[in-house]
Chains A and B, each alone.
Chain A
Amino acid sequence: MDKKEKSFESRMKESLKFVGSRMDESMKVPGDFADKVWGRIGEPNPSLASRLRRLLLSGKGLAAACACAVILVAVIFINKIYKPGIITAGKPASRENIAMNQGSSGNAVKEKQAVIAQGKYAEITVPQPTRQTSGNENNQKPPALAAINPAVNNQQAEPNQAKAMNAALNSRANAAAVNTGNKQVSSAGMQKQTPDNDVKSNTETPSGVSFGIKNNLIHPLNGDMTELDYTAPPECNVTIKIYDRKGRLIKDIFSGSGQPGSHTEYWKGDDSNGAVVDAGIYIVYIKICSFEKEETVGVVK
């Protein structure tokens, strides 16, 4: 082999090496290379990523993903927005239902627990509210009506009534959590007990005004009635009215300047004509001097 031939050989090698290295550098293997190989083999790609991709692309996978998303949204809705279960299916709340609500909204939930818990008597101390009323009280819609869930309209069957009441009571508790950040719940109040369905909340102001409601779920046809206890100071106007969920006045229980001291009024689930009201949620609105308060009462038939 002469020198010239050797130099050609090395030149040729160098040229092919250069072209080869440029080919290698510019080589771009497609991302789905492995999948296509498995496709040619006729078997699914066993890699986890590939399996997930196939599952998502298939109808079943998509349906499963949608179902998971719906469940997730439902769980978030139940835990963060709806907060179920003070009264279920016409029965007072179970301890489990109450426990579900414990982590949600601080004082409001504690209040809800205390008021609604089965057979328990609760005493809640509320500071003097700063809100003042104005205008004709008879035509005024109690503020709490706005807090009632509109979804509870037209409840006929007893379980539905219970659900509606549940929602309304929840709304009340939630509204309380928003509006009265400085509300305090007496832990001692949890110790006194009353019979089934006898629920009493006693609200007292620093000026000696107090208001309590007992039995807020009544069956008028069975003779149940809601007991409304209040204490009024001297020279003080007292108003106790019942409104329906749309803000219509159902019955004026008491209006005027009452005698100072403790009093008890009853509502038998009737309207101003003495007829038994429809089943549903009703608002007890009480104003003693400048203190005003709304409580929710459920009527079942």
Chain B
Amino acid sequence: MMEEISFEEIKRLQQGEKQVFNKIIAIYQKRVTALCMKYMLNMDEAVDAAQEVFCSAYVSIKSFGFKSKFSTWLYRITVNQCINRLKSIKSRNAIIDNRHYIDDEEKREQLEFVTDGRKLSDEEMELKETGTAILRELDRFSEMDKSAIILSDMEDYSTGEIAEILDMPEGSVRSSISRTRRKLKEILEKKKGAER
């Protein structure tokens, strides 16, 4: 069970008790940074995005209405922050040389940390290969489709929670997930066929 900040403490923060925000940072900094990492696929970018997330959360803490869990509210800010960043990176790179924002080689290097220097078994190696390939391909999908897959398959959120975080109907989340998976399958199979 993940630690959650209580509503009581959030009320105190809303009333001006700034120390409470340090507790929020301590509880959620790792989770938020990890989620940013799954979007940005770059540690420095992820940390930077996570700091921006907390900054936004502090500024808009008074708008938290106690209707959802605080973590859900914070993850919504995180997802929006990451999506906006990815958009701005994509448009920046499009202006520079019209290439996809990070080429495959660069991304492969960035994902090397996944092995963390540990020797992987054959099965783990295969999982890693497939997982990193999916992550690379996910960049070609819309931000909402990518977010639905990340939150569902990497973060283990339920469809209801994803709908709340992404602020969209549950049915849309379900269809987005199944559509993205199907497309991913096609792409990966095509790639496999081409390799053979």
- Asked whether any CB of chain A lies closer than 8 Å to the CB of B184, the reply is yes
- Asked whether any CB of chain A lies closer than 8 Å to the CB of B160, the reply is no
Q: Are A29 and B134 in contact (CB under 8 A)?
A: no
Query: Considering the chains assembled together, what is the distance between the CA atoms of A11 and B129 in angstroms?
Result: 12
Q: Are B33 and A27 in contact (CB under 8 A)?
A: yes
- Contact partner of A29 among B29, B114, B153, CB < 8 A? B29
Report B-chain residues with C-beta under 8 Å of the C-beta of A17: 131, 153-154, 156
Considering only CB atoms, which chain B residue lies closest to A1 in the complex? B178
- Asked whether any CB of chain A lies closer than 8 Å to the CB of B55, the reply is yes
Q: Are A19 and B135 in contact (CB under 8 A)?
A: yes
Q: Are B22 and A29 in contact (CB under 8 A)?
A: no
- Contact partner of B22 among A9, A30, A45, CB < 8 A? A45
- Asked whether any CB of chain A lies closer than 8 Å to the CB of B158, the reply is no
Q: Are A20 and B38 in contact (CB under 8 A)?
A: yes
Query: Considering the chains assembled together, what is the distance between the CA atoms of A25 and B114 in angstroms?
Result: 9
Partner-binding segment picked from A31-39, A126-134, A159-167, A170-178: A31-39
* A43 and B47 contact, Cβ closer than 8 Å, known pairs A12-B185, A26-B113: no
Considering only CB atoms, which chain A residue lies closest to B20 in the complex? A46
Q: Are B33 and A22 in contact (CB under 8 A)?
A: no
Q: Give B41 Cβ to nearest chain A Cβ, in Å.
A: 9
Report A-chain residues with C-beta under 8 Å of the C-beta of B19: 46-47
Query: Considering the chains assembled together, what is the distance between the CA atoms of A129 and B52 in angstroms?
Result: 82
- Contact partner of B116 among A26, A40, A45, CB < 8 A? A26
Q: Are B22 and A16 in contact (CB under 8 A)?
A: no
Q: Are A41 and B55 in contact (CB under 8 A)?
A: yes
Query: Considering the chains assembled together, what is the distance between the CA atoms of A22 and B30 in angstroms?
Result: 14
- Asked whether any CB of chain B lies closer than 8 Å to the CB of A194, the reply is no
Report A-chain residues with C-beta under 8 Å of the C-beta of B71: none
Q: Give B60 Cβ to nearest chain A Cβ, in Å.
A: 12
- Asked whether any CB of chain B lies closer than 8 Å to the CB of A24, the reply is yes
Query: Considering the chains assembled together, what is the distance between the CA atoms of A5 and B189 in angstroms?
Result: 12
Q: Are B184 and A34 in contact (CB under 8 A)?
A: no
Q: Are B131 and A16 in contact (CB under 8 A)?
A: yes
* A22 and B59 contact, Cβ closer than 8 Å, known pairs A16-B134, A47-B19: no
Query: Considering the chains assembled together, what is the distance between the CA atoms of A14 and B181 in angstroms?
Result: 13
Q: Are B134 and A22 in contact (CB under 8 A)?
A: no
Q: Are B51 and A37 in contact (CB under 8 A)?
A: yes
- Contact partner of A9 among B25, B115, B181, CB < 8 A? B181
Binary A-proximity of B31-45 (CB < 8 A = 1, otherwise 0): 001100110000100
Q: Are A22 and B128 in contact (CB under 8 A)?
A: yes
Query: Considering the chains assembled together, what is the distance between the CA atoms of A40 and B49 in angstroms?
Result: 12
- Asked whether any CB of chain B lies closer than 8 Å to the CB of A13, the reply is yes
Q: Are A29 and B51 in contact (CB under 8 A)?
A: no
Q: Are A24 and B184 in contact (CB under 8 A)?
A: no
Q: Are A33 and B34 in contact (CB under 8 A)?
A: no
Binary A-proximity of B48-69 (CB < 8 A = 1, otherwise 0): 0011101100110000000000
- Asked whether any CB of chain B lies closer than 8 Å to the CB of A18, the reply is yes
- Asked whether any CB of chain A lies closer than 8 Å to the CB of B18, the reply is yes
Q: Are B185 and A16 in contact (CB under 8 A)?
A: no
Query: Considering the chains assembled together, what is the distance between the CA atoms of A32 and B33 in angstroms?
Result: 14
Report B-chain residues with C-beta under 8 Å of the C-beta of A41: 55, 58-59
Q: Are A16 and B124 in contact (CB under 8 A)?
A: no
- Contact partner of A23 among B21, B25, B51, B114, CB < 8 A? B114
Query: Considering the chains assembled together, what is the distance between the CA atoms of A8 and B178 in angstroms?
Result: 12
Report A-chain residues with C-beta under 8 Å of the C-beta of B154: 16-17, 19-20
Using A24-B34, A40-B51 as known contacts, list a sample of 20 further A-B pairs with CB atoms less than 8 Å apart, ordered by residue number in A.
Answer: A8-B181, A12-B134, A13-B153, A15-B127, A16-B153, A17-B154, A17-B156, A18-B127, A19-B114, A19-B128, A20-B131, A20-B154, A22-B115, A22-B116, A26-B114, A27-B34, A33-B50, A34-B29, A37-B51, A46-B22
Task: State the A residues within 8 Å of B (CB).
Answer: 5, 8-9, 11-20, 22-30, 33-34, 36-37, 40-41, 43, 45-47
Could you show 6 A-B contacts with beta carbons less than 8 Å apart?
A5-B182, A11-B130, A17-B131, A29-B29, A37-B58, A40-B52
